[in-house]
Structure 1
Amino acid sequence: MKQVFILYCILFFYTGSSLAQKNNLDVKSQAALVFNAQNEHVIYDKNADKVMPIASITKLMTAIVTLDTRLSPNEIITIESADVDKLKYTTSRLPVGSKLSRHELLKLSLMSSENRAAAALGRTYPGGTQAFVNAMNIKAKQMGMLNSRFVEPTGLSSNNVSSARDLAKLVAASNRYSVIREFSTASQHSVFPGNKRGQLQYVNSNSLVRSQNWTIDVSKTGYLNEAGRCLVMHAKISGQPVVIVLLNSWGKNTRIGDANRVRKWIESNQNRKQVSGINQIKPN
């Protein structure tokens, strides 16, 4: 039964040509996929099967594996030297010795892409980081993400790769977790990590969650030199649930501009059936 489900997932993502491409939707990101999550109709695709680094979009899978394990959300976890970035040598506002609950770390990981928080989540998984990474890859296969591979939980490694089509499945799956919906779209959050640091204020790395023009259910940004600027969202546009995946946007604001172009195109389309009603695939 699982094999049939995976085959079905693969088939509906490979439907027809993109209507939006025929109607001059100009997306600047190198790879993109937009689809209606209600009837699984692909609205737009561009290099959707190209395998490429995904940066911190990785953290959506990190969140799913963490939540599926059902570890105590209130367990206090201490940031250790093992959580310090030794790949890109990025900085963090969470010094070694910071103490936060598992759910606090998950929230910082999702809303502000805090790398040490994500690393600590993987390290404290039963069996450690390698067992966590194995679980990430198993989960990806179960979702039908056949072009995806994870090597660590933060997204700092350019060896974490996927395609826009695969990531659309990840976003759709993430939307089924109320915690991910809440944490990934929080506009800001304060924590008290101890270690004599006092209160730390974090803001969401996706400015669109603070926009009145958007209703966003799931959000995640990502950035690496190798990956460019990335953005994935599950949002409601013209009353329809829409998944947007934008990969390798090199301009600082390109991913935001692309997301706004997608929203405006859908909203301005006069024939709603074109967006939400044709070429859908239904199960037998």
Structure 2
Amino acid sequence: MAGLSLVAVLGLSLSAPADAAKRRESGSTHASVAGAKSKLKNEVIRTTKRQPTHAVIVRPSFGELSGLRATDDALALRSSVALVIDQETQEVLFDKNANVVLPIASLTKLMTSVVVVEADQSLDEILTISQEDIDTEKGSGSRLAVGTQLTRGEMLHLALMSSENRAAHALGRHYPGGLVAFVSAMNARAGLLGMSDTRYVDPTGLSSRNQSSARDLAGLVSAAYRHPLIRQLSTSQEYSVAVGQRTLQYRNTNGLVRNPAWDIGLQKTGYIAEAGRCLVMQAQLAGRKLIMVFLDSAGKYSRIGDAERVRRWIEAGPAIVESGDLRIPVGAVPKITS
């Protein structure tokens, strides 16, 4: 309405009779119009400042919706699910909701790497990013443009170290029989590992239908650890690839690989809204080889904070913990059968 009033004032000023009286009043009229303009401008500025910015819609994770984040534990972790086991003895040192099945986001890429490596395809073969590799599930971006050509080994490196979705998808597409056959191989491998709670629908983890439990994922970490290449690529701190005339620099999504306090043998991070922040690792702490799984962590850095809490606890000489109770031994993770 203020804008319409100003237009009306301007219209009257332009159409008024040009008699002497009006000319004498024109000075005050123009001053009035200028004042109106200034007042309107200031009001627009004040109104604009009062307008809220575009709200960022934060979708709750599956764990949050199911109330898992309210679970207390002896270490006050911010992850809804956590599991710490001795890799060699299978002894469970810490268990928090380890049997709950949740989306696992890019932890999926650990199985993707296992299938690729065990298929014994040439790591030097050139793969090409295509339109099919663009994320239509979450609309995430990538620095690997359509037409980018890298070797299978380079794609595997980027998928494991920096969680490159297009690279992981391209690996699946270039599997014998294509993407459908690749996902089938992922599920078949999970079955052989005794991962009864696990299901895969794509090689990236962008779909919330890629789901597993902490116990199953601990078994997967043990299996993946058997492959030196997966250990090497997943713990690489940074990596550069030549794309045309450019060189793209990538860094590991897990900052702990650059922390001298840690001796990490294998790791993978993951995140989508439905899964929260996730992390799996094999690490040597206090002379023991341990596997750690953290699912549905509530904050951007909280999975790293949880890992640090576990490290300090282990180095201090922990008792066995299950659901916050000390000195209660619990069952082992699925045995690796092949």
TM normalised by structure 1 equals 0.86
Q: CA deviation at 1:193?
A: 2.2
1:43-122 residue pairs with structure 2 within 5 A?
43-122=93-172
Question: Conserved in 1, the CA contact under 8 Å of 2:78 and 2:298?
Answer: no
Q: Give the match for residue 90 of structure 2.
A: 40
Q: Which runs of 4+ in 1 moved over 4 A?
A: 278-281
Q: Counterpart of 1:206 in structure 2: which amino acid?
A: N
Partner letter of residue 148 of structure 1? T
Mapping 1:186-201, distance limit 5 Å: 186-194=236-244, 196=245, 198-201=246-249
Number of aligned pairs? 256
| Counterpart residue number, 2:269 | 221
Identity %: 52
2-structure distance, mates of 1:99, 1:240:
41
Equivalent residues of 1:39, 1:280 under 8 A apart: no
- Equivalent residue for 1:242? 290
Map 1:92-241 → 2, pairs under 5 A: 92-194=142-244, 196=245, 198-241=246-289
| Pair 1:251 & 2:280 matched | no
Letter of the 1:229 counterpart: R
After superposition, the C-alpha distances for 1:77-105 in whole angstroms (9 at most, x for unaligned) are 01111011011010001001111000000
1:250 positional shift: 1.6
2:308 maps to what in 1? 260
Instruction: Report if the CA contact (8 A) 1:36-1:240 is conserved.
Output: yes
Note the C-alpha offset of 1:24. Answer: 2.9
Tell me if the contact between 2:109 and 2:160 (Cα under 8 Å) persists in the aligned partners. yes
Cα separation, 1, equivalents of 2:217 and 2:319: 28
RMSD: 2.0
Separation in 1 of the partners of 2:141 and 2:318? 47
Distance 1:220 1:36 in 2: 18
Question: 1: distance between equivalents of 2:163 and 2:311?
Answer: 24
Aligned equivalent of 2:4: none
5+ long unaligned stretches in structure 1: 1-22
Deviation at 1:271, TM superposition (A): 7.4
In the alignment, the residues of structure 1 paired with residue 314 and residue 222 of structure 2 have an alpha-carbon distance, to the nearest angstrom, of: 19
**C-alpha contact (below 8 Å) 1:237/1:267 kept by paired residues:** yes
How far the C-alpha of 1:175 sits from its partner, in A, is: 0.7
Distance 2:331 2:194 in 1: 19
Deviations 1:154-190 (A, max 9, x none): 0000000000111010111111010110000000000
TM-score normalised according to structure 2 size: 0.73
- Consecutive unaligned residues of structure 2, counting only runs of 5 or more, are 1-72, 321-325
Where 2:94 maps in the other structure, the secondary structure is strand
Larger Rg: 2
242 and 155 in structure 1: CA distance in 2 versus 1, 3 angstrom threshold = same
Q: How many angstroms does 1:280 deviate by?
A: 8.3
